[in-house]
Amino acid sequence: MQPLEVTGIGVTTCLGAGRAANWRQVLAGRSGLGPITRFELGDCPVRAGGEAPELSSDPGVSGPPELQQLAAACVEALECAGCSGGRVPAGRRAALVVGSSLAGSSTGEKFFDGYLREGPRAGFCALEGYYIEGQLAELARRLVATGPSALVSNACAAGGSSIARGAALLRAGRADLAICAGYDPLSIFTFAGFGSLLALSRSAVRPFSSAREGMLLGDGYACIVLEPPGRRSASEGAAMGKLVGYGESADSHHLTHPHPQGGGAALAMRRALAVAGISPGDVGYINCHGTATRANDSAEANALRAVFGESLRGVPVSSSKPFFGHTLGAAGTVEAVVTLMALRHGFLPPTLNLEPQDRELGELDLVPVGRASGFRYAMPNSFGFGGSNVSLVFEKGGCDGES
C-alpha cells in the first residue's frame, strides 16, 4: 500500500501525560505501576496498577473522566500534527476512529455503587453518561472531526484496529486525515474480572520470564494522526513515522484463551507484512502483546516462530506492559506510540523484569536492557479475547530528534 504518514502522536499513561514524559520513562527503564488508590481493594492480594496523572487543564469536552483524558491525548496528537488548538482546520475531512473495551466505565461504576447502597431507589439517571455514541459525538465536536466516525470494541485488539480502520478510510478516499485513538481506564470491573480468571500478578509484571505470574492493569489514552504523504509542509518538519502495513484476523479459538499455536496471530502478522510489501527479515523490532500470562506468552512466541522462522533469533522483541500495565482496548494505540518513538529515536525499549528468562519459549532477543539500534521497520502486535488479532508495520520516517 502507499505509506501513510504519522504526523501526530499523543499519549497519557501512568508514566505521565504526553509523549515526551512517557518516552523519558521508557528511556530510563522506569515502570509507572504502583499502589492502586482509585478504588477499595479489600483483602485482595493484588494491590498494584497504573494510574494516570489527573488532567492539568480542561480538554474542552463534557463527559466522564476517561473521555476527558482521551480528548487530551487527541488534542496533543493534533497539535503535534500542526493543527492549532487541537482542532482540524476548516475544509479538511477528518475521520475519527476510537478503540475501547470499557468506554463509559466510570459511569457504570457510579451506578452500581449507588445501586449496592440504595437498591432500585438509586434510579438509572447515573447511567446517562454511558451513552457511548454521545461521547463519540462530543469528541468529534471538540476536535472538529466532520468525516466518518466509529467506535471499535474487539477487546484488547481495539486500539490497533482503530489504526487499521483509520488507514482503510484514508485509502478508500473517505477522509484526508484520520484521528486514530484508543482508551481504557483502570476500572474495578476489569480488575475484578481478570482477578477471577487468576490472571493478575501479585508482584511485578514479567513477560516471557519463567517467574511470571500474570498482568497488571493500567490507564491508557493514546492517539495517532494519519495523513496521506505530502500533506505536511516543510516548515512542520518530518513525519513521526509511516504506517506501511496492517493485518487483522480472528481465530475464534476460545472466549479468553489464545490459540496455543498462535494461528490467528501469525495470520495477522503475515497479512501486515504482505500489505507492507516487505519480508519478515526486513523487520528490525517487534513490540509484543506480551501480557505475562503463560498462555499468551507461549502462543505469541509460537506465532512469531511460525512467521519469522530461524531469523527470529536476530530480531529484537520486547513487551512494554511492565511500564504501564495492560491498558486493554488502548493497548494497541499506546504500544503503537511506543513503537513509533523507538523508530524515531533508534532505541529498543527493554522488557523489564525479564530475568529469569523462560527458555522453554525458545531463543529470543527480549532486550533485557534498552539499547540503541538502527532499524527501518517495526511491528507492534495486539491480541484480544475471542481471538481478535491486529499487527501493524511502521517505517522510520524522519530523523532522530525531539519527541
Element (H, E) at 7: strand 4-13
Which residue reads 492539568 in cell numbers? 56
Q: Which of 77, 135, 76 is nearest to 105 (CA)?
A: 135
pLDDT of residue 236: 57
- The CA distance from 56 to 63, in Å, is 16
Q: Which of 335, 353, 334, 337 is nearest to 292 (CA)?
A: 353
Kindly report the CA angle at 234 between 231 and 236, in degrees rounded to 5?
80
pLDDT of residue 207: 97
- pTM equals 0.95
User: How does strand 4-13 pair with strand 220-227?
Assistant: antiparallel
Q: What is the pLDDT of residues 312-332, one digit of tens each?
A: 999 999 999 999 999 999 999
Q: What is the pLDDT along the chain (403 residues), one digit of tens a residue?
A: 899 999 999 999 999 999 999 999 999 999 999 999 999 999 999 999 999 999 999 999 988 899 999 999 999 999 999 999 999 999 999 999 999 998 878 888 888 888 888 888 777 777 776 778 888 999 999 999 999 999 999 999 999 999 999 999 999 999 999 999 999 999 998 999 999 989 999 999 999 999 999 999 999 999 999 999 976 654 455 689 999 999 999 988 777 778 888 899 999 999 999 999 999 999 999 999 999 999 999 999 999 999 999 999 999 999 999 999 999 999 999 999 999 999 999 999 999 999 999 999 998 999 999 999 999 999 999 999 888 999 999 999 865 445 5
Yes or no: say if 186 and 51 are a contact pair by the CB < 8 Å rule.
yes
SS3 for 387-402 is HEEEEEEEECCCCCCC
pLDDT of residue 235: 45
Ramachandran angles phi, psi of 152, nearest 5°: -105, 130
Conformation bin of residue 134: beta by default, left when phi > 0, alpha when psi is -120 to 50: alpha
Domains and CATH numbers, the chain: 4-395 (3.40.47.10)
Ramachandran angles phi, psi of 319, nearest 5°: -115, 135
- The CA distance from 122 to 20, in Å, is 43
Which residues are annotated as catalytic?
156, 289, 326
Query: H helices within 277-353, ranges in order?
Result: 294-308, 321-324, 331-345
- The CA distance from 47 to 63, in Å, is 28
- The CA distance from 365 to 354, in Å, is 11
pLDDT of residue 187: 92
